[in-house]
Structure 1
Amino acid sequence: MTLVSSTPMLQEARKSGYGIVAFNVHSFDMLYSVAEAAAEIDAPVIIQTTVGTVQNLGPDSIVKTANAASEKYDIPMALHLDHCTDLDVIIQCIRAGYTSVMIDASMHPFEENISLTNQVINITKYIDVNVEAELGKVGGVEDNIVVSNKDAEKAVPSECKEFIERTGVPTLAPAIGTAHGIYSGDPDIDFKRIEEIASLVDEPLVLHGGSAIPEEDVKQCITLGMAKMNVSTELKNAYSEAIKDHFSQTPDSLDPRKYLSKAKEVAKKLATEKMTLVGCAGKAQEIKTQAYPNQYKIDSLRV
């Protein structure tokens, strides 16, 4: 199965009350770790890359690798560009074959955010590419985007409704108290705000800053309408710590196959836990038939 737009899978997830995890990967090995974990538990998955990773690995290479993984493991997989402020990079990734993009104009005033989001919506109007936008400001650090705690602000429910009505954006990431990175204390998640936003809009909502949120908080967010949860720092740290541990224990063991295989297993374990937590384990085949019936019929005829 080739890469798919994340719009149908997220719509199905919200309708059915579970979530899809979107993992930020920084290497092709990490990409395959996540894909293999998803295949082993029959879960749909979203692979994400930051602008920095796009610049490092190249959009064409990322798309080819993600497509190969999707076809190898035969699971519904989308490829998403995370937190992009540059329209040229968005166009570049869409041309390469990304099936989902995020225009992050949340640092701009409301009207300008709408205008910039509509520019991307107009580009994707006739192609099968999901668009994600953000309202409010999620704190923390994501690639080269830094939002301090004092500058972080939560999304206004009525503005979320108006924003979707005026843009038609299919997925929205409202700031609700989470932050990018690992929390120094418990996150201040505004569950009432999530519930109010979800009561006003039918579109899937996106939970940014999903690393290290307590499990019960994640489950409540999903129950209230969050259909996509982003995980970046926790996966990156687990992968890297496994490599550090390898050299701490066996400093003379320089075979990349040995230390990368350890990192892969740690990444797979974490990815499996996150996908199981949001309830998408065992949903891949259901997603195929419910969200992508035409593509699934075509793929099933391949010899």
Structure 2
Amino acid sequence: MALVTSTEMFKKAQAGGYAIGAFNVNNMEIIQGIVEAAKEEQSAIILQVSAGARKYANSIYLRKLVEAAVEDSGLDIVLHLDHGENFDIVKQCIEDGFTSVMIDASHYPFEENIRITKEVVDYAHAHGVVVEAELGRLAGVEDAVKVKKEDATYTDPDEAVEFVERTGVDSLAVAIGTSHGAYKFKGEPRLDFERLEIIGKKLPNTPLVLHGASTVLPEFVELCNKYGGNIPGAQGVPEEMLRRAASMNVAKINIDTDLRLAMTAAIRKFMYENPSEFDPRKYLGPAREAIKGMVKHKIKDVLGSSGSNLK
């Protein structure tokens, strides 16, 4: 088994009507929890590294941890750059051994987004690496990505076709109403499935990606708040909506906030119940188990990708 690109994973996901979970990683315990869950479920997985993760842990450290996870688990794993800000960062991550990269030029005008993305695609493909890009802008906050609600825009289906044809990008992140962070909706959650269906029909061979797709699981929010947290009104994407999206050409669903909440809830609970404990292994162990349990749930009940590593 090895670090691989997402090409074959996405083909199988599209044919099978499920999605691959793309989980953001920041340290060893997060990686271990995700990979242990995927191993038990025999699910394909993508581990992705954001700007904040690179700043916190350094992409080289994370790559080595992911390589250890491949060796330990026997799984094929995609190592993906999430929200690459520019060509230089993408180039560096390719040189560091990433097998998949995202160039996010969605905040530029359409023609500039195409120009930047095409430059990245040409370089990445020459080095055997696949590329994800974004068209449309998601609201919310995630590490270096900060977009006000009034600046968010949905993906135009006709522009999506032109964008894919002119850039040669391997997968496309679309904006249909999801958003980054723990506060995705005020009021009733709504995704534009009609728009998603049109894009899928116009681009049947292009895997689509949903960013900002954490559910913000209530049990973890409640645990955080019970043990000293202050996360009022957090609301994510309902799981039934994600299951529906996974059957509509969405081959990759990004999950980050749910990982943070699961880990923080477990740590808060442990520290509250064990105030004299100061061994990091004692509270990071339960945090790792909380992540593992949450990821297993996502794989089985939301993404539908159990057994996909065997297909």
The TM-score with structure 1 as length reference comes to 0.92
**SS of equivalent to 1:284:** coil
Q: Deviations over 1:156-199 (max 9, x none)?
A: 00011110000110100011111011234443210000000000
> Residue 281 of structure 1 aligns with which residue?
306
Aligned residue for 2:229? Answer: none
Provide the C-alpha distance between the structure 2 equivalents of 1:124 and 1:280, rounded to a whole number of angstroms: 27
> Do 1:7 and 1:171's aligned partners in 2 also have CA atoms closer than 8 Å?
no
Of stretches 114-123 and 179-188 in structure 1, the one that deviates more from structure 2 is 179-188
Equivalent of 2:248 in 217, 224, 230: 224
How many angstroms apart in 1 are the aligned matches of 2:155 and 2:174?
A: 5
Provide the residue aligned with 1:210 in structure 2: 213
For residues 99-138 of structure 1, what are the structure 2 equivalents within 5 Å? 99-138=99-138
2:309 maps to amino acid = A
Question: How many positions carry a matched residue from both structures?
Answer: 286
CA distance, structure 1, for counterparts of residue 150 and residue 185 of structure 2: 16
Q: Once the two structures are superposed, what CA deviation does each residue of 1:127-176 show, in whole Å capped at 9, x if it has no partner?
A: 32121000000110121111111111100000111100001101000111
| Preserved contact between residue 59 and residue 92 of structure 1 (Cα < 8 Å) | no
Q: Which amino acid aligns with 2:212?
A: G
In the alignment, does 2:240 pair up with 1:244?
Answer: no
Q: Is the 8 A contact 2:37 2:296 kept in 1?
A: yes
**Which residue in 1 is equivalent to 2:65?**
65
User: How far is the alpha carbon of 1:61 from its aligned partner?
Assistant: 1.5
Q: Matches of residues 17-56 of structure 1 in structure 2 within 5 Å?
A: 17-56=17-56
Deviation at 1:71, TM superposition (A): 1.8
8 Å contact 1:105–1:116 — kept in the other structure?
yes
For residue 285 of structure 2, the aligned residue among 238, 261, 266 is 261
Tell me if the contact between 2:26 and 2:62 (Cα under 8 Å) persists in the aligned partners: no
CA-CA distance at 1:62 after TM superposition: 1.3
| Displacement of 1:16 | 1.9
Question: Which contiguous aligned blocks of 4+ residues in structure 1 show a shift greater than 6 angstroms?
Answer: none
Q: Deviations over 1:236-284 (max 9, x none)?
A: 1211121111111111111111101100010001111111121111111
Which residue pairs with 1:158 in the alignment?
Answer: 158
SS of residue matched to 1:283: coil
State, as a whole percentage, how many aligned pairs show the same letter: 42
Structure 1 CA distance for aligned equivalents of residues 160 and 11 of structure 2 = 17
- Tell me whether 1:194 sits opposite 2:200 in the alignment: no
Q: Match for residue 230 of structure 2?
A: none
Counterpart of 2:266, as a letter, is: A
More displaced, 63-72 or 158-167? Answer: 63-72
- 1:11 and 1:203 in contact (8 A); partners too: no
Aligned-partner Cα distance in 2 for 1:11–1:159: 23
2:78 is the counterpart of 1:78: yes
Taking structure 2 as the reference length, the TM-score comes to 0.90
Maintained 8 Å contact 2:26/2:49? yes
What is the DSSP-based 3-state SS (H/G/I as helix, E as strand, rest coil) of the residue aligned with 1:83? strand
Provide the aligned C-alpha RMSD in A.
Answer: 1.1
Structure 2 SS opposite 1:5: coil
